[in-house]
Each structure stands twice: as C-alpha cells, then as structure tokens.
Structure 1
C-alpha cells in the first residue's frame, strides 16, 4: 500500500554505551540541535494502567476487521501509532489495519512526572518487542518513558526497547483527516459506571466478523443492545472492536459513549483518572475512516478560511485545548469560519479533536502537505469542473445549479448558507451525504465562493 515517505537524517546511529552507573542508550534524533534528544523524559505514575492502555492501542493498530487474510502480514508491518507531546498532554494515536477503528491514549499531567524538552509529533512502530515489554509491567514497578523526535523508548530496570520512526501510510493520513471531522460532530449519548460498563461489554455477542447492525438503547444507568432501530438509539456495527476495552474497564472510573446524529460513527471514552482511552468506530467495519469524505466541505471553502488560517495556525502553539468560540473571540472572526478553519488544519494534519473535552488540540503529523490534494480526488474533480466552466446557476431556483458531468448534466441544490443539500447524480443516490458531498455539490460550492470573492472589494 502506498505511503508518503518522510526522510530522517541522523548524525550517527543510536547506541547503547556504558556509563558510570550501568549503561546509557543514546537515541539519535533528526535535526533540530536541541540539547536534549527527547520530547519528554520522566516516569509514569500509573505504570500498569498506562502499559495496558498502550497495549490496547497496539491491539487496535495490529488488528484487521475487514481485510483479506492474504494482506495481513503487509498491513501489520505498516500499522504505526503516532505520539504527540503538547502542552500538558502526551497523546498516542493509531488505526486498525482497515482504518475502521481509531484509538487514542491521552496522558494528562497527573499521569507522569518529568521534563518536557520540546513539543512535537512523531510516527513510530510498536513492534513485537515493545508489546512484550508492555505486557510484563507491574503496578508496583517503576516505569520511565522517554519520547524522542525519532524514537519512543520504554525503560524498565536494565531492559530498554527502542522504537524507530517509519513512514506514515497513505490510508492513515486520510483516516487522521477524516476522523477529526467525525469526532467534532459527536455528542454525548450515555455514561456508564465501571461496573455497568464491564457488565455491558461482557454481555456483548462474541461472534467474530459479525456485520449485523445493532442499536444501543439507554436503559436506566446502562444501555442495552437491540437489533431494532428506535428513536434515540445509537447505531453500531462490528461489536468485536469493543473487546479492546475489556482489560481497561476494571480500572476505569466510567465509560462515556458518544454518538453521531447521522449514525456514521461512534466513540467510547474510558475515564482512567489520570488518563483517557478513546475508541472511535466507523459505521461499518468495511468502511474505514480513510475512505470517507467528511472533511471535503471544509476543503472546498479553503479560499474563504484562508484569511484566518495564518493567524489561526499561530494560535495553535501545541495547546491541548483549542475551542472555536474562544479562538473566534480572540481573532475577531465568526465562530463557524474558525471551526471550518480548524477542519482544514485537521486535513493538513495540524490538529486533532478530543471528544471528551469537545475541543481541538494541536499536533503536526509528519507528512508532505503538498500531497493533501491527492488524498481528496473528489475535490480535485470538483475544481476541474469549475475550471471547465461546467457549473451554471439555475435562475429558476435559489441555491440551485446545473453541473455538467461526463455525459449528463445534474441538478444540485445548496442551502441558504451554501451547504450541500442534494444532487441528482448516481453517487449521491447511493450515499447521500453520508460519505461527504459528491463532486458536483463541491463544484457548486466552489462556484458560490468564487463569486463571493469576485464581489469582494
């Protein structure tokens, strides 16, 4: 599978050398000339729980929920988490091999003690040796963690295992962009105590590869599983993906469920006290986040948000909480424009979204921003339609346009604010807006924004 390669140049290889007391593992980083080779150096206050969380993350990135078995080995080699060291937070993110399941471990300042040398994001490979080290950690045993620009190192006693940075696969880049758009529109659905959460998870069907549609229905202090859709129920498929949470629930304080009003995604957040574990699921196991188009609307109005992007990016500063309303007030810009700007920055790999705090956070994924266009072929097609003059306003209906396709001209409709409503093309008939707008709706939106720019003084 195609990956966007990023080159790292090291002055010398990492090495293990003897020092006055024992040995020192010197991990070389790529450039920067910082006096310390790591983002973070310190110890974890919840060794066992953090190790279990990272192991659960590794289970997600090492799993496949809808991938032909013949592709398994190649996918497992490509599955890599991303770690970000920001202001007051250490975050580990990753996807399953099919990109249908997103996981993130958030370590708050209460989860660690140590020194932050600098801020940044790096992509790393959690190999078998690292996973083995995580599985043997005991709660009473001190555990130190070092996060560097090019490696993640886990140290316990005299044993040290090092992870090296690797290229980020293409499907992951698309997934990271799409999942932020999904998470930003989720709303709290239910909250379960640790006891109720464990009972709920243990009561789920154990069938592997189950593609049936299920619904979660609030019932007292918990939720029950139903095969029948009802008002206020949360849609979910691929229940086996929730098993990742089982080892963590006994140590959790609560489990918060988040639902998508459109039924296209769900998120489960475990409150672990000093840390959190987030598990986000796409609506179907065969539909990975990387195959969706939820960020296309924001990209289509890039010209409009460009006026705030430079000042908005200057406000990121590795902040763990970026609220659109607060940023809008500070920048003197409309809140919706700032929100769309953050979504554009998300597509560029510069921000993520935390469902529990209902805010964006700064992180910079290591990939070439110039290639983002290749990740959104629908948007590229829409721009080609605009350049070809294939979009004309329908004088008989406000917000309506005629867009010429290859062989057919389609009638499309935008709402009063220029948001996509419907199109007469076959693609829209199959998917509506569940996978983002079609290229004809995007072309109409671009046409509107270009007209607004032409009318601007």
Structure 2
C-alpha cells in the first residue's frame, strides 16, 4: 500500500490536473482506468464491502480466540461494467456492487479479476469523498498496485491479496442458490427506509423470520406463508442501511412459495442505485455460511463431459470479453448442446469462476486462480464419499439400483431414489433434510451409479426483470 498526499481543500474547486489523465495506459496489465460518475455513492459502497468483509455475524462456540482469515473485495472488469464483491467473515452475507456502463467515463480495457485489501489509508481516502469531489479508479492485475484510488486529496494504491478458500466455496454456492431465486416484490425507497427502521438491532435468538410482501407494506412475521420471503437473522440487513440514501427502489428476491432444499431459506435484497446496483444475499441463519450449503455437490460427484468443460474454460480465459453469459446463446456460439454448456458452466461455477446476476438473469465470469479439482478438494462430504466408494463400502440392497446400502464403520445407511429426490437413513438427513445439500451417502450412490452431474445452471433470461414480473400489489 502506498499513499501520495495532495494539497488543497476537498470541497471547493475540482482541479482535474491533480488526478490522472483519461488516456489509455500503455501498460498491458491495466484492466480499467477512469472516473466514476457517482463518486460519493461508489465510495460509500466500497467502504461497505470492506466493512462487511471484516465483520462476523456468528462466532462458532470454542473459536473466540481463533483468528479466522478474512479478505476484502474481489474486483472484476467486464466489457461495460465493474463488479465489486465480498463476503462477511462468517460467509453468511454475500455483497456485490455493480457499476454499469453509465457509471464510468470509459469502458474497461479488458476482462479480468483481482482481489485487494482495503487498508486504513484507503478507507480514509474513500471516506473523504464528498459532494462533487472526483474519484478516479485504476485497476490492474499487478501484484503491488492492483487498485489505485485517486481523490482530490490523496492517491492510494492497494496490493493484491490471497483469496480465502471459503470465498471460493461461497462464490460457488451463492450463484447456484441465486439462480433459483425469483423477484418477489419491489418497493420504493421510502417504504424500504420505513422497513429498515423497524428491523431489530439484535435478533434476540430469533434466527429465522419471514418478510410479508403483500398488503400495506413490508413487515416481519414469525411464520411462513404464501406471500412471504425468508429473512434469517434480520438484524444483518442493517449493515447495508447506509446505502439506502442512494437507492431509488429495492427489489426483493426469494424462493418460490413452498420451496424446499438448498436455498429455500435464502433472500436477496437488491438496492437499485444511480447507474449501479447493490445486491445483498443472506444465508438462512447467521450460523450458516454460504460456503457450507452443498448446492453443487451432486454436480461434483457426477462430473460428465470433461471435454466441454475444458473447452468452455479455455473460451472464457482466452476469448471472452466479460459480457453476460446465457447458456442458449453460448451453445449456439460454441456449437455445443444446451446440456453441455449448462453442465460445463455448473462445473466451472464450483471453482468460483462463474457468478450469477439476478437483475439481468445471466451469468458472468471471474478470472480466479482456482481449478475444478481444487474446488472439489474443499468439500469434505465429497472427499468422504469418494473414500467410501474406493474402500468398497457400497452394495446393492435390491435387484434394482433404486436402493443402495452404504457401510460406514459399524453403521449401515440406505439411500433410496436418485439425484435431488434421493433420501437416506443417516442422522444428517434426519436433522437437515436436503436443505444443506446431499449427505455423503447420497453422494456415494451418485458416484457408484455413475450418475451424470445434475446441472444447476438454468437457461437464464435475455433481459432484466421488469414490472410484468411482479404481481400488481407487489410494488409497494
């Protein structure tokens, strides 16, 4: 990290000679260099992402003295926008700030990603952006100066940092869950502020509540109903309250009524901003992080079409310019079947390199130094399942393959059914059902049967959600 103080007041005259030129840098490692159209909004959003990354909403028992690694935003440049992402230290909140084409004075030079640390001097510089102060941003894939912020008073550079393994799993699970959520309501900024003021400051042991989205406005309730959205640990939403001042509306995404399985307790809150969006996804409860949800385990257990995975990975790394990915369009462009593309995207998502944009209904690519094999090694249930298969702990319990028996030490568990409908007699399924993904015995059955991977990538939309996607009384 380096700083360069610049003299002069920050709230009087903007002297553009004191900030970098707009010209394209000859440095081939430069991803983006330009001014932000809404500097105070962007500065507030980046400070929020850094604050969330350092915050822990849940501390596991017995880990008070443990130092658990956290990080700061991952920045991705694409053809026409910037994305800044972070997780809370407990991985129970996923936050993303998108700056659209109108929010920057020039398009990114090329597609790429970097992970940075927002240190004290950077936070001071961003906190000092006020009124009509300019904010210039330089993003590169250099190790020492990955991101440089220039305000009227300061120039601060931040170096690239290591990406926590939990974030890789969190990226993977968050996109799988987010793709299954649908827009449930859109409210005005005034209604959103009223609702936020009513949120509890302390959950008081009530980790799982619901938001009623009909009638006279948003409200909290303790029971699920046909017009409710889950809100685990509602006090967590207060973290993003500082950005409400910039919001024109708030869109709420949630699972369909009556949904079960992975993601059934997740909600996503999208603040619609000037030339940008802030998306906040909350895990089912503060004690559950996205990194442990297990939504991609079926796919990892039954990898198929490795050639299409490698082909798509090469395309994204070499030829892709960061535009949104829609499976149907990709299949046509790459001369692959729709199933091959969706399967390959799901496999790549497991390594954290594919994310989902709920507002646009499409997928986007991150350039991260992780492989599918590396992502698989981060899933203990899958590792245990492969070991059980290798040890010969699986037998058919009947003439057909509908029931499989798995021996685990002195225990025997039966898996009945296939894929997402499979059930097991083990304590894991008895406690969680399928809300946290399959148990290791169901994964054993997938591997033993040689089942193809279950695609978690949907076809995707080709345009943003609009008013027609909501019921008349959903816009409050």
Is TM-score (shorter-chain normalized) higher than 0.5?
A: yes
Secondary structure of residue in 2 paired with 1:353: strand
The match for 2:113 is: 121
Higher normalized contact order (CA 8 Å, seq sep 6+, divided by chain length): 2
**Aligned mates of 1:368, 1:343 — CA distance in 2:** 13
**Aligned mates of 2:372, 2:450 — CA distance in 1:** 23
The TM-score, its normalising length taken from structure 1, stands at 0.85
1:312 is the counterpart of 2:312 = yes
The match for 2:124 is: 132
Secondary structure of residue in 2 paired with 1:219: coil
The match for 1:250 is: 245
1:197 is the counterpart of 2:198 = no
* Deviation string, structure 1 residues 250-279 (Cα, Å, up to 9, x no partner): 321211111133323111111113111010
Asked if 2 retains the 8 angstrom alpha-carbon contact of 1:298 and 1:341, the reply is: no
**Aligned mates of 1:330, 1:449 — CA distance in 2:** 30
**Aligned mates of 1:41, 1:386 — CA distance in 2:** 52
Secondary structure of residue in 2 paired with 1:319: coil
Pair 433,328 (structure 1): closer, same or farther in 2 beyond 3 Å: farther
**Aligned mates of 2:133, 2:452 — CA distance in 1:** 64
**Aligned mates of 1:252, 1:450 — CA distance in 2:** 46
Asked if 1 retains the 8 angstrom alpha-carbon contact of 2:168 and 2:351, the reply is: no
How far does residue 341 in structure 1 lie from its aligned partner after superposition?
A: 2.3
How far does residue 191 in structure 1 lie from its aligned partner after superposition?
A: 1.0
**Aligned mates of 1:88, 1:227 — CA distance in 2:** 42
| Equivalences, count | 427
RMSD: 2.9
1:364 is the counterpart of 2:356 = no
Pair 79,211 (structure 1): closer, same or farther in 2 beyond 3 Å: farther
Secondary structure of residue in 2 paired with 1:340: helix
1:178 is the counterpart of 2:173 = yes
**Aligned mates of 1:404, 1:34 — CA distance in 2:** 62
How far does residue 61 in structure 1 lie from its aligned partner after superposition?
A: 0.9
**Aligned mates of 2:273, 2:223 — CA distance in 1:** 32
**Aligned mates of 1:138, 1:95 — CA distance in 2:** 26
Asked if 2 retains the 8 angstrom alpha-carbon contact of 1:16 and 1:23, the reply is: no
Tell me which protein shows more strand as a share of its residues: 1
The match for 1:322 is: 325
* Deviation string, structure 1 residues 129-158 (Cα, Å, up to 9, x no partner): 222222221231121111121321110124
The match for 1:279 is: 280
Pair 23,233 (structure 1): closer, same or farther in 2 beyond 3 Å: closer
1:146 is the counterpart of 2:138 = yes
Asked if 2 retains the 8 angstrom alpha-carbon contact of 1:420 and 1:445, the reply is: no
Secondary structure of residue in 2 paired with 1:241: helix
How far does residue 116 in structure 1 lie from its aligned partner after superposition?
A: 2.8
Asked if 2 retains the 8 angstrom alpha-carbon contact of 1:209 and 1:240, the reply is: no
**Aligned mates of 2:185, 2:65 — CA distance in 1:** 35
Pair 91,324 (structure 1): closer, same or farther in 2 beyond 3 Å: same
Pair 387,450 (structure 1): closer, same or farther in 2 beyond 3 Å: farther
Gaps of 5+ in 2: 7-15, 454-476
Secondary structure of residue in 2 paired with 1:80: coil
How far does residue 343 in structure 1 lie from its aligned partner after superposition?
A: 2.0
Asked if 1 retains the 8 angstrom alpha-carbon contact of 2:19 and 2:150, the reply is: no
Asked if 1 retains the 8 angstrom alpha-carbon contact of 2:266 and 2:282, the reply is: yes
How far does residue 58 in structure 1 lie from its aligned partner after superposition?
A: 1.6
Asked if 1 retains the 8 angstrom alpha-carbon contact of 2:389 and 2:448, the reply is: yes
1:297 is the counterpart of 2:298 = yes
How far does residue 422 in structure 1 lie from its aligned partner after superposition?
A: 0.5
How far does residue 95 in structure 1 lie from its aligned partner after superposition?
A: 0.7
How far does residue 339 in structure 1 lie from its aligned partner after superposition?
A: 2.6
1:414 is the counterpart of 2:417 = yes
Secondary structure of residue in 1 paired with 2:211: strand
